[in-house]
Amino acid sequence: MYALVPWYYNVHTMHGEFSMPYVHFLSASITFAHMSQERTEISSLGEFGLIDHLTRNNEIRNASTLLSVGDDAAVIDSFGKQLAISTDMLVEGVHFDLMYTPLRHLGYKAVVVNLSDIYAMNAEPSQITVSLAISNRFSVEALDEIYEGIHLACERYGVDLVGGDTTTSLKGLIISITAIGELAENQFVTRAGAEINDLICVSGNLGAAYMGMLILEREKKIFQENPNVQPDFDQQQYVLERFLKPEAQRETIQFLREKSILPTAMIDISDGLSSELHHICRQSKLGALIYEEKLPIHENTRQMAETFGIPATTCALNGGEDYELLFTVNAAAFASISTCPWISIIGHTCAAEEGIKLITTANNKVAIQAQGWNPLAG
Ligand SMILES: [Mg+2]
């Protein structure tokens, strides 16, 4: 009988063909051939298309999995207590540039971007795990700095660091953080619950982090061409801080809770308002009307946008990494929401057929494209 089973299979890999011992693992019908026959570029799917593709056959086997892939965080039931869980990975050269990112800030930001996803579910973050892949170009002192930032964020947001993993990277630094948050029973907010004529709200202001990044990229180029020129960051502290040391929206979640407002849908703004608005509209099967004059843009963001020759509205719509919250509420919440000094009502939802549109200050209606940052496209 064994003679019927070949001991070695020829396996096609990305690097050619090699013989591999037969291992009865999944199924003998498994085929490796597709790797060499077809090749679909990852960039043709984009980040979200790739997630859809990889999870298309994902099966839920446990009743305790209340919400799976496709939102800011998953929600599970742990013996009657609901928890939100989210993971984010930051890769050197893709998500951060160590030429202008202080390690302490990097550690802080890596935690905050994860907590932002937990708040976006209307949960209160409680624990994180931190995994690092590091090369020997980092010293213990350098790692201490990253951890100083991590601990500072844990302290600021009342979160415990409870585990993780440390491994070797051949070149770049990779930080992967998983965050866990606690939820009041059935109070989690997905992207899919918005209803027609809900108010569309956003916390804080938009586009500042993008301006901060553009300044740092500009100064990096100048420094590379002439290392004797030191950057002058005067008057730019605000936008630089928004990029290097963002904060998660704990106060917004607390405000909504105090006012007994449960948003119908919510998402954090990591890729840009337009991209996040598309997520809510797609998952809630709605359209949206946004008013340009209502977009909250900080004065410093406007000044920098002018310096760079980019419309401030474009920065607000498409600049990423603000980590503000975008959410929808029933129109009955208008009076309560209006009392919050840092929440702006920027528009309302409508039927899907009406599309996702911006009413400009000149009173034109233009379609909003989802043009968020897509590191996989580069
Ligand atoms: Mg998110």
Residue range 254-312, pLDDT digits in tens: 999 999 999 999 999 999 999 999 999 999 999 999 999 999 999 999 999 999 999 99
Return the CATH architecture of domain 62-183. Answer: 2-Layer Sandwich (3.30)
For residues 117 and 86, what is the distance between their CA atoms, to the nearest angstrom? Answer: 7
- The end-to-end CA distance of the chain, in Å, is 51
Which residues, by Cβ under 5 Å, contact ligand 1, an ion? 72, 117, 268
Query: pLDDT tens, 135-172?
Result: 988 999 999 999 999 999 999 999 999 999 999 998 88
Whether 372 shows a pLDDT value over 90: the answer reads no
Domain residue ranges in the chain: 2-39, 62-183, 199-377
- Give the distance (Å) from ligand 1 centre to CA of residue 10: 42
What is the overall mean pLDDT for the chain?
Answer: 88
More confident residue, 105 or 230: 105
Q: Decide if pLDDT at 28 tops 90.
A: no
| In the chain, % of residues over pLDDT 70 | 88
Say how many Å lie between the CA of residue 32 and the centre of ligand 1: 34
Give the tens place of pLDDT for each residue, 99-145: 889 999 999 999 999 999 999 999 999 999 999 999 988 999 999 99
CA of 94 to the centre of ligand 1 (A): 17
The more confident residue out of 19 and 62 is: 62
Distance 268 CA to ligand 1 centre (A): 5
| pLDDT confidence of residue 124 | 97
Residue 139 in tokens: 């010293």
Q: Can you tell me the distance from the alpha carbon of 53 to that of 50, in angstroms, rounded to the nearest whole number?
A: 5
Does residue 3 have a pLDDT over 50? no
What are the residue ranges of helices labelled H in 31-101? 34-37, 46-54
Please tell me which residue, 320 or 328, carries the higher pLDDT value: 328
Compute the average pLDDT of residues 57-84: 90
The pairing of strands 286-291 and 356-359 is parallel
- Which residues have C-beta within 8 Å of that of residue 122, sequence separation ≥ 6? 183, 187, 188, 189, 253, 256, 262, 263, 266
Q: How far is the CA of 86 from the centre of ligand 1 (A)?
A: 9
Ligand 1 mean position to 120 CA, how many Å? 7
**Mean pLDDT to the nearest integer, 332-336:** 95
Give the whole-angstrom CA distance, residue 42 versus residue 376. Answer: 7
Compute the distance between CA of residue 220 and CA of residue 216 in angstroms, rounded to an integer. 6
**Cα-to-centroid distance, 351 and ligand 1 (Å):** 24
pLDDT, tens digit, for every residue of 188-218?
A: 999 999 999 999 999 999 999 999 999 999 9
pLDDT exceeds 50 at position 378: no
Q: Check the CA dihedral 129-142-103-175 and report its sign.
A: negative
Position 377 scores a pLDDT of 43
Ligand 1 centre distance from Cα of residue 258 (Å) = 23
Kindly state the average pLDDT of the residues 69-98: 92
* Mean per-residue pLDDT, 365-377: 68
Contact 114, 147 (CB under 8 A): no
CA of 319 to the centre of ligand 1 (A): 15
Confidence of residue 242 (pLDDT cuts 50, 70, 90): very high
CATH, domain range 199-377: 3.90.650.10
The per-residue pLDDT for 105 is: 95
Region 325-352 average pLDDT: 97
* The pLDDT value given to residue 2: 47
Rounded CA separation 135/114 (Å): 24
- Please tell me the distance from the alpha carbon of residue 178 to that of residue 89, in angstroms, as a whole number: 9
Strand pairing class (160-168; 124-134): parallel
